[in-house]
Structure 1
Amino acid sequence: MANSRRTTGRGGTSPRQRKIAGVAAIGVTLGVAFAVATGTSQAGESCEGLDTAVGNNLAFIADQLVFPDALSEARIANRQAVIDQLEQRRAAAGCTGEVEVPDADPNAALNGGAAEDCDGLDGAVRNNLAFIAGQRQNPDALSEARIANRQAVIDLLEERRTLAGCTGEVELTPGS
């Protein structure tokens, strides 16, 4: 035994142990991120509802392009981020087909630029509430992150409902 002494760094761990711990931490982080991004939940997604939500966002972006104002760039970036999340959910749910960009609403300037469909927004909120309820009913290691993600989507949808003049609170009804 030429050298039985180990060199340890801070906290009594060797550089090799810290390297292994770092690689393990990165692996866990990437695994969790992948699972959250791919939406591995078994909770059912409605392709029709997701398609409607994508279509509503595309219509809003089209209206912002036709009737721009000082906040259009920020609104478009926000809506594109929502579309990206919805597209991930569509892929995870096995939704096929392309959602087309609808024509801009010529009356959008009259209603504050919001060419939103309250029924579509309400349906999107209900879909997200149903997903959250499913995660709470059958939680797993990623449920907390999924619920936080869906709550953020609901918050955005609620803002859009307000801008579109939608009234009333959307609630998850039993059996939905």
Structure 2
Amino acid sequence: METKSKLRQVLKARRQALVFEQRHAASVQIEEKLHWLINWQSELVVHVYSAQLHLGEVETAHFIDYLTRSCPEVTLHAGRADKTAAIPTANFDVIIVPLVGFDEAGNRLGMGGGWYDRFLAVQPHALTIGLAFECQKVPLVPIEAHDQSLDVIITEAAIYRN
């Protein structure tokens, strides 16, 4: 089994190998699936990551704009994970996270700081959704006791449900 660190390097390189046009087109397809996954017109407390495009993450700006403009019942929290940042204390209904890698069982590989693992651990009732490109899928993500799996992972090719 590959170490998380080595796997992280390989998957970051795969993601970065996608040219902007590929990432953008795939991000649009992922967002379309995300729109249909949940009734966003209901009263929800939602956390969405703000994509770091220089890292090749799935774009979220259009989705954040959609929630802000078109979903008045949604309470939106958008931001970037920082391993030194405080974990939000609100009770979230939906949490959308970026991924470095994933497997079909819902296991995720993040940037390695553990922020999302700590955040998801205190949100046991939230629907957790990861956004990734299909090239980030691996047969098996090595997991440890503190790792938090996801309920749903959306790529341009599929929706994986845990």
Q: TM-score, normalising length from structure 2? A: 0.28
Between Structure 1 and Structure 2, whose CA radius of gyration is higher? 1
User: Whose strand fraction is larger, Structure 1's or Structure 2's?
Assistant: 2
User: Whose helix fraction is larger, Structure 1's or Structure 2's?
Assistant: 1
Q: TM-score, normalising length from structure 1? A: 0.26
